[in-house]
């Protein structure tokens, strides 16, 4: 079922005017045709499409039922949280419902009965889709805002996390960071991660309920107050490194680290008034579609861009099959005001008939060969159509020719292999004694020491004699009185002369040569 998202927030400047159509049918001197533009979906209330997870297990109040009180009324602890009674339960979903006039509905944690062990909770919001913030994130707390918390975000569906903003009543004490305000940032540090004290203090702000991640104030650094100069913001989003990504995420995590205290100290005799209660989390943003879609729909439980410009994927992040003549590119806000669609092109369109499997944007005609060939093949490919792997790379059997991962580095061990090329299954050519696909192992009866060398001694054939011990297959450590490669030789034969240095050296050299010869012969047997 295709359920089109129709939540348009008309009050948002970013939802208006700009980049809202992907193509239009125009008539030119050559007749009517499509014209294409960079386009993006409207901003929406992202809390309607989120899945939430609250950690650790058992942090939600009411199981078993519990009494609590408030900072306003600290000795009247008659309020009750009971998970089994709908009217008294405070499950996580109440952070995302529609508030009726008057009474707030909220998720609530257990109280701080284990003080001084910290009362910690994580609230993780996941969209399974990259989204771009267009307005402040606003978290509404009932019964006081936390005195320490932080926001983290993920860009890869929760595999890796990054700090987003720190909040504390004393930033230096809680996080070792100086307190800053977004309003004091400038164009050179607009995507700085800050710690703010604005939303965590109790004194003078008892009635304040909201904690913000100030997206508008950051936009305003470029677009000015009231966000009048959006063109400047769009220009900067294209050019300033990391700025677009700052407003992008797939997941958001709120780490609650210390609840509201209602004063300077925690009152141990009344821990029923310390807990977290969140009534709403407002996240306003749009699907990230790389400027290749102006619609985003909710299908099978996930947001999905309705890709144009012959792109495909959840974020329109690649070219459709048969439209991979040049490599995929995101659309661009520039040049103003319509941007560039950077559409994917079919073979046989803009580039003549030269297919490059998406590894090159350029073809060139070579006169004396009378061929058209791809120029500067990327992704470690080479060849007229970028259809081969560069030397030192081999073909990824599970990737199609137009996949970015089509060529895998051979990674041959520099010492163990003859050269850095490998065969079609990634096997390198090994030097004598070396083995393994990458030649970083030794054959049996060889040892590794910057290359593979035949064992001098071992536990099978080349056994150290006379009680000698084999050191890492490299040499025998002989007991006093014995010598030789395998300690096979007594230093002092019954003939006393042999103990004298000159002749003994001569003798042992001879024996060494003989035993080396034996070793060589044995080696030939393998």
Decide if residue 5 touches Ca ion (CB under 5 A): no
Least Å distance, CB 278 to Ca ion, is: 8
Decide if residue 122 touches ligand NAG (CB under 6 A): yes
d(CA 104, CA 68): 17
> From Ca ion, ligand NAG, none, which one binds at residue 94 (CB under 5 to 8 Å depending on kind)?
Ca ion
If residue 174 lies in a helix (H) or strand (E), which one and from where to where? helix 171-175
What are 255's strand-pairing partners? 122, 150
Residue 383, number of CB atoms within 10 A of its CB: 15
Decide if residue 474 touches ligand NAG (CB under 6 A): no
Least Å distance, CB 442 to ligand NAG, is: 16
Least Å distance, CB 73 to Ca ion, is: 22
* Secondary structure (3-state) at 490: strand
Residue number, 108 or 147, with CB nearest to Ca ion: 108
> From Ca ion, ligand NAG, none, which one binds at residue 398 (CB under 5 to 8 Å depending on kind)?
ligand NAG
In the shown chain, the binding pattern of residues 279 to 298 toward Ca ion, with x for contact by CB under 5 A and - for none, equals: x-------------------
Decide if residue 89 touches Ca ion (CB under 5 A): no
d(CA 306, CA 314): 8
d(CA 315, CA 40): 11
Residue number, 90 or 209, with CB nearest to ligand NAG: 90
Alpha carbon separation from 236 to 150, 216, 228, 409 (Å, rounded): 27, 15, 15, 36
The token duo for 509 is 């050299």
Segment contacting ligand NAG (CB under 6 A): 139-147, 209-217, 218-226, 419-427? 419-427
Phi, psi (deg, nearest 5) at residue 321: -55, 145
Decide if residue 52 touches Ca ion (CB under 5 A): no
> From Ca ion, ligand NAG, none, which one binds at residue 279 (CB under 5 to 8 Å depending on kind)?
Ca ion
Residue number, 152 or 214, with CB nearest to ligand NAG: 152
In the shown chain, the binding pattern of residues 301 to 320 toward ligand NAG, with x for contact by CB under 6 A and - for none, equals: xx-x----xx---x------
Least Å distance, CB 68 to Ca ion, is: 18
Which ranges of 202-331 would DSSP assign to H, the alpha helix? 215-223, 230-239, 243-246
486: CB partners within 8 A, 6+ apart: 457, 462, 463, 464, 465, 468, 476, 515
What are 148's strand-pairing partners? 168, 258
Of the candidates 326, 421, 371, 305, the residue with the CA atom closest to the CA atom of residue 408: 421
Residue number, 121 or 442, with CB nearest to ligand NAG: 121
Residues engaged in binding Ca ion (CB under 5 A) = 94, 97, 105, 279
Residues engaged in binding ligand NAG (CB under 6 A) = 34, 36, 55-56, 120-122, 128, 152, 161, 253, 255, 301-302, 304, 309-310, 314, 343, 396, 398-399, 403, 405, 408, 423-425, 427
């Amino acid at each position: 079922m295709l359920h089109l998202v129709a939540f348009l927030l008309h009050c948002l400047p970013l939802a208006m005017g700009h980049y809202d159509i992907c193509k239009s049918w125009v008539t030119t001197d050559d007749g009517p045709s499509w014209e294409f533009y960079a386009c993006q979906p409207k901003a929406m209330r992202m809390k309607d499409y989120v899945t939430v997870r609250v950690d650790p297990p058992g942090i939600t109040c009411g199981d078993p039922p519990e009494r609590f009180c408030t900072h306003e009324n600290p000795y009247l602890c008659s309020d009750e949280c009971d998970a089994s009674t709908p009217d008294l339960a405070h499950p996580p979903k109440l952070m995302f419902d529609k508030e009726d006039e008057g009474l707030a509905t909220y998720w609530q944690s257990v109280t701080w009965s284990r003080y001084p062990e910290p009362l910690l909770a994580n609230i993780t919001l996941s969209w399974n889709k990259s989204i771009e913030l267009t307005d402040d994130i606003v978290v509404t707390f009932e019964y006081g805002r936390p005195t320490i918390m932080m926001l983290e975000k993920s860009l890869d569906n929760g595999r890796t996390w990054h700090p987003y903003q720190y909040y504390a009543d004393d930033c230096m004490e809680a996080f070792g960071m100086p307190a800053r305000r977004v309003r004091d940032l400038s164009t050179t540090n607009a995507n700085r991660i800050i710690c703010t004290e604005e939303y965590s203090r109790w004194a003078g702000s008892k009635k304040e309920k909201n904690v913000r991640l100030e997206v508008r104030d950051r936009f305003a650094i470029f677009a000015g107050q009231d966000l009048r100069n959006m063109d400047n913001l769009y220009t900067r989003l294209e050019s300033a490194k990391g700025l677009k990504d700052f407003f992008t995420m797939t997941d958001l995590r709120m780490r609650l680290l210390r609840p509201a205290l209602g004063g300077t100290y925690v009152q141990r005799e009344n821990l029923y008034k310390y807990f977290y209660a969140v009534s709403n989390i407002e996240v306003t943003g749009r699907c990230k579609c790389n400027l290749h879609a102006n619609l985003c729909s909710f299908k099978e439980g996930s947001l999905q861009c309705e890709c144009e410009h012959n792109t495909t994927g959840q974020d329109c992040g690649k070219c459709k099959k048969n439209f991979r003549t040049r490599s995929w590119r995101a659309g661009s806000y520039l040049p103003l005001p319509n941007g560039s669609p950077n559409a994917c092109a079919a073979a046989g369109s803009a580039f003549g008939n030269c297919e490059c499997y998406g590894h090159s944007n350029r073809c060139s005609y070579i006169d004396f060969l009378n061929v058209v060939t791809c120029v500067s093949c990327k992704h470690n490919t080479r060849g007229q159509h970028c259809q081969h792997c560069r030397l030192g790379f081999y073909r990824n059997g599970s990737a199609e020719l137009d996949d970015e991962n089509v060529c895998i580095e051979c990674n041959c061990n520099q010492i163990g292999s003859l050269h850095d090329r490998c065969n079609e299954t990634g096997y390198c050519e090994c030097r004598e004694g070396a083995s393994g696909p990458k030649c970083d192992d030794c054959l049996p009866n060889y040892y590794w020491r910057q290359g593979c060398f035949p064992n001098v001694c071992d536990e099978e054939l080349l056994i150290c004699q006379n009680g000698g011990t084999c050191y890492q297959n490299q040499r025998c450590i002989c007991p006093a009185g014995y010598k030789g490669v395998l300690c096979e030789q007594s230093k002092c034969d019954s003939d006393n002369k042999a103990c004298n240095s000159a002749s003994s050296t001569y003798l042992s050299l001879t024996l060494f040569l003989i035993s080396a010869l034996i070793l060589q012969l044995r080696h030939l047997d393998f």
